[in-house]
Chains A and B, each alone.
Chain A
Amino acid sequence: MFYDLNIPVTPSSGSTPSAQDQLETRKRVELLVHLGYQAVAYNNEISGKMPQNHVNPVTKLALPGVNMKQYSRLTLVVDDISQNYGLNTNNPSIAGYDILAVNPTNEKLFQAACGTFEVDIISLDMSARLPFYLKHSTVGLAVERGIYFELCYGAAIRDATARRNLISNAQSLIRVTRGKNIIISSQAMRAMELRGPYDIVNFGTLLGLNQAVAKDCLSSHCRAVAMHAETRRNTNRAVMSVAPVASLAETEQWKLGGGITSGGVNYTKRKKSNDAKEDKNASSTTTNKKAKGHESEPAK
C-alpha cells in the first residue's frame, strides 16, 4: 500500500479553498488513484504562529467505490526559538489535523524539533541549500523518538536546480540517518508533478537507498507516521486509548456483555460528534466516562 503524505492544499486566499483549488485537488487525487496510491494526506502549511481559533480548512473528497485513505496534515514553518508554538495535543487548532509536521528553518529549531517537539514529521525544504549541517547526534534523537524525515520530489520535477539540491540534501540525510526514518512524498502543486510509486522507488535507489528501503519510504514508513500520529492524538501517554462503545464492529459486540442499551445511547451521541468533526477532545471526555464501564482497561 503506497502513501503520498504531502498534497499541498494551502488556500491561496481566505480561509477556505476556492472551487478552482478543489478542482485541482480532485485532479491530483484521481491521478494518484490511477498511479496506484492508496492513501493521501492533504497538507496545509502555516508559517509562524498559529492564528487563534484556527479551523482546519481541509475537506476530504468523497470518492465512492475507491479505496483511498485520506488524512489532513498541518505543516508549521517555525523560525523563532523564543516563541511558544503550542505544539501539543491540548491545542485545539492543532488537534483538528490528523498528522502534524514542522519545518524548522534554523539549526536551533531543528535541534528542538528532533529532541523535544511532539510532532510526526520533520520536513526540511530540500529543494534549496540547507542552512545547516545535519548531524548524526541531532538526527539520531528524532530517529529514536520515531519521528520521520520527509523528502519531497515535486520541486525536483519542476526545475533542475531544485533537483540538484534535492539529490545533494537527500544524500546527506541518508548518510546521517543511515537510511532509517525517511519518507518520500510528492508536494506536487499540480497533477503533472506526481509520479508513480515504483518510479519513485527507482529514484530512491538513484539517491543511494537500498531498493527495499526505498519502497518502505513510500509504504511502511508512511504507515508508521500515520500510526505515530494516531498514538500522539488519541492515547493517554501512548499506553491506553479509550474508544466509545459504539465504535465496536458488529462482530465484536459480544465484548460488551449486557451493556447494549447504554451503548445505544452512546451511539447517537458519538455519531453527532463525528459529523461535526470538531472539538473531539471535549466530546471524548464525556464519552470516556460512559465507555469506561464496558471497556476492559489495562491496569495503570
Chain B
Amino acid sequence: MVRFKNRYLLFEIVYADTPLGWTTIPGATSLALVNASQPGEAADQNPFGDTGRNNCRLPPLANKDLVFALKDSITENFGDYGAGLTQRPLTLKYFSPHTNVGILRISREEMHIVWGALTFIKELKGRPCIIKVIHTSGTIKKCQLTTIKYDRDRIMFLRNQAQMLKDNQMYTQLGLAYKESADEVNALEI
C-alpha cells in the first residue's frame, strides 16, 4: 500500500487596492513616497499597505473566509464532483493576514482542480484580488523555507523604504513583523 500523498501550495493574495510596494519599479516606489510625504494623506493612504496589523483599516481576513471562498470556487467551477474529490485533505495550514501569504494542503491527485479554483477567485469579502501560487512542494518543510525567504525579501524591501522615509517606528515594527512571521511559520507542525 502506497502512502497517501499531499501537495502543499504556497500562495500569495494580491489586492487591487494595495500598492505593489515590493516590486522593483522605481516609478511605483516614488509614487508611494509622494503619498507618504503629504502629512494629511499619510495616515489615510499608507504606502505599506497591509503590512502591520495596526495599519490595517479593514478587519483582517480570517482563515475561515479564505477556505469558504475556495470551496465556493471549487463548487462553481468543478461542481459537486470536484468538491467531493477535494474535500477531505483540503486544509489551510497557515495564513498570515498581514503578509497575505498562506500554505494550503491538498491531495496530490486533485492538485490541478484546487489550483484552478484558486486561479478563478476574483474577490475575497468584496475586495478584488488575485491569488498567485508561488511554490508547490511535496513536503511542508520546503514551503516553510520558501515562505520565510519570500517574507524576508519583502520585509527587507519595505524596511529599506522606511529607512529612506526616516520612519523609525515603521522600521522597528517591520523588524518585529519579520521575526513574528518567521516564528509563526516555523511553529507549524510538519
Interface residues of A (CB under 8 A from B): 26, 30-31, 33-35, 63-66, 156-157, 160, 163, 191-192, 194-196, 198-200, 202-203, 205-206
When chains A and B are docked, how far (Å) is the Cα of A95 from the Cα of B112? 42
Please tell me if the beta carbons of B132 and A195 are within 8 angstroms of each other in the complex: yes
Please tell me if the beta carbons of A33 and B25 are within 8 angstroms of each other in the complex: yes
Residues on B with C-beta less than 8 A from A157 are: 120, 122
User: Contact partner of B116 among A65, A66, A194, A203, CB < 8 A?
Assistant: A203
Provide a sorted-by-A list of 15 A–B residue pairs whose CB atoms are within 8 angstroms. Answer: A30-B23, A30-B27, A34-B14, A35-B130, A63-B25, A63-B27, A65-B26, A160-B76, A192-B128, A195-B119, A198-B133, A199-B115, A202-B133, A206-B113, A206-B116
Answer whether residue B38 sits at the interface, using C-beta atoms and an 8 A cutoff: no
Please tell me if the beta carbons of B133 and A34 are within 8 angstroms of each other in the complex: no
Please tell me if the beta carbons of B133 and A199 are within 8 angstroms of each other in the complex: yes
When chains A and B are docked, how far (Å) is the Cα of A200 from the Cα of B132? 10
Interface residues of B (CB under 8 A from A): 14, 16, 20, 22-28, 76-77, 112-113, 115-116, 118-120, 122, 128-133
Give, as a whole number of angstroms, the nearest-CB distance from B122 to chain A: 7
Q: Considering residues A34, A35, A195, which has the most beta carbons from chain B within 10 angstroms of its beta carbon?
A: A34
When chains A and B are docked, how far (Å) is the Cα of A163 from the Cα of B23? 30
Secondary structure of the B side of the interface?
mixed
Please tell me if the beta carbons of A203 and B119 are within 8 angstroms of each other in the complex: yes
Please give me the 10 A-B residue pairs with the lowest Cβ-Cβ distance, nearest first: A196-B132, A199-B119, A202-B115, A34-B23, A192-B128, A206-B116, A34-B20, A192-B16, A205-B112, A65-B26
When chains A and B are docked, how far (Å) is the Cα of A194 from the Cα of B16? 11
Residues on B with C-beta less than 8 A from A160 are: 76
Please tell me if the beta carbons of A65 and B25 are within 8 angstroms of each other in the complex: yes
When chains A and B are docked, how far (Å) is the Cα of A202 from the Cα of B106? 15
Give, as a whole number of angstroms, the nearest-CB distance from A13 to chain B: 25
User: Contact partner of B119 among A26, A64, A202, CB < 8 A?
Assistant: A202
When chains A and B are docked, how far (Å) is the Cα of A200 from the Cα of B22? 23
Q: Considering residues A200, A202, A203, A205, which has the most beta carbons from chain B within 10 angstroms of its beta carbon?
A: A202
Give, as a whole number of angstroms, the nearest-CB distance from B75 to chain A: 12
Secondary structure of the A side of the interface?
helix
Q: Which residue of A lies closest to B78 (CB)?
A: A206
Q: Which residue of A lies closest to B135 (CB)?
A: A198
Please tell me if the beta carbons of A66 and B119 are within 8 angstroms of each other in the complex: no
User: Contact partner of B25 among A30, A194, A198, A199, CB < 8 A?
Assistant: A30
Give, as a whole number of angstroms, the nearest-CB distance from B67 to chain A: 19
- Known pairs A33-B25, A66-B25; A194 contacts B119 (CB<8 A): no
User: Contact partner of A31 among B14, B22, B24, B113, CB < 8 A?
Assistant: B14
When chains A and B are docked, how far (Å) is the Cα of A66 from the Cα of B26? 9
Give, as a whole number of angstroms, the nearest-CB distance from B164 to chain A: 16
Residues on B with C-beta less than 8 A from A206 are: 112-113, 116
Residues on A with C-beta less than 8 A from B27 are: 26, 30, 63-64
Please tell me if the beta carbons of A31 and B116 are within 8 angstroms of each other in the complex: no
When chains A and B are docked, how far (Å) is the Cα of A205 from the Cα of B116? 9
When chains A and B are docked, how far (Å) is the Cα of A65 from the Cα of B14? 22
Please tell me if the beta carbons of A196 and B76 are within 8 angstroms of each other in the complex: no
Give, as a whole number of angstroms, the nearest-CB distance from B31 to chain A: 10
Give, as a whole number of angstroms, the nearest-CB distance from A163 to chain B: 7
Please tell me if the beta carbons of B25 and A195 are within 8 angstroms of each other in the complex: no
